[in-house]
Structure 1
Amino acid sequence: MTARREATRRRLFEAAVTLISEHGYGATTVSQIAERAGVAKGTVYYNFSGKTELYTALMEWGVSRLAEHMRAPVSGPPSTALAEVLRAELAFIGTHEALARLLVTETWQTGQAWHATVQQIRNEAIGVISGLLDDLVARGELPEDLDTGVAGSALFGMVLTVALDWRTLQPERPLEEIHATVRALLAGFLAAHR
Structure 2
Amino acid sequence: MSPRSAAVNEELRRRSRERLLQATVELVGERGYEATTLADIADRAGAARGLVSYYFPGKRQLLQSAVHRLMHKELEAALEREPRTEDGRELLARAIDSVLGLAREHPRLMRTHMAGILTAEGFIQCPEQQRLAYLLRETVTRYGSRDPEADYRLLRALMMGAVVAILLPGAPMPADRLRSELFQRYGLDWELGMPPGAKPPPPGL
Q: Same fold (TM over 0.5)?
A: yes
Q: Distance in 1 between matches of 2:21 and 2:114?
A: 22
Q: Distance in 1 between matches of 2:90 and 2:18?
A: 35
Is 1:116 aligned to 2:150, yes or no? Answer: no
Taking structure 1 as reference, are residues 57 and 7 closer, same or farther at Cα in structure 2, changes over 3 Å only?
same
Q: Distance in 1 between matches of 2:120 and 2:38?
A: 27
Judge conservation of contact 1:86–1:156 (CA < 8 Å) in 2: no
Q: Distance in 2 between matches of 1:166 and 1:108?
A: 16
Please give the residue correspondences for 1:104-183 in structure 2 after superposition, counting only pairs within 5 Å: 104-107=114-117, 115-117=124-126, 120-121=128-129, 123-137=130-144, 142=145, 144=146, 147-168=147-168, 169-170=171-172, 173=174, 175-183=175-183
Q: CA deviation at 1:54?
A: 4.9
Instruction: Pick from 69, 73, 92 the counterpart of residue 74 of structure 2.
Output: 69
Q: Higher helix share goes to which structure?
A: 1
Per the alignment, in what secondary structure is the counterpart of residue 78 of structure 2? coil
Unaligned 5+ runs, structure 1: 189-194
Describe the superposition over 1:60-108 as per-residue Cα deviations: whole angstroms up to 9, x where unpaired: 2321110111122223410121012111111012222333333333246
Q: Distance in 2 between matches of 1:71 and 1:10?
A: 16
> With structure 2 as the length reference, what TM-score do the two structures score?
0.59
* Amino acid corresponding to residue 180 of structure 2 in structure 1: A
* Amino acid corresponding to residue 113 of structure 2 in structure 1: L
CA RMSD across the alignment: 4.0
How many residues are treated as equivalent by the alignment? 166
Q: Distance in 2 between matches of 1:36 and 1:162?
A: 31
* Identity over aligned pairs, percent: 9
Judge conservation of contact 1:12–1:33 (CA < 8 Å) in 2: no
Instruction: Pick from 25, 33, 37 the counterpart of residue 37 of structure 2.
Output: 33
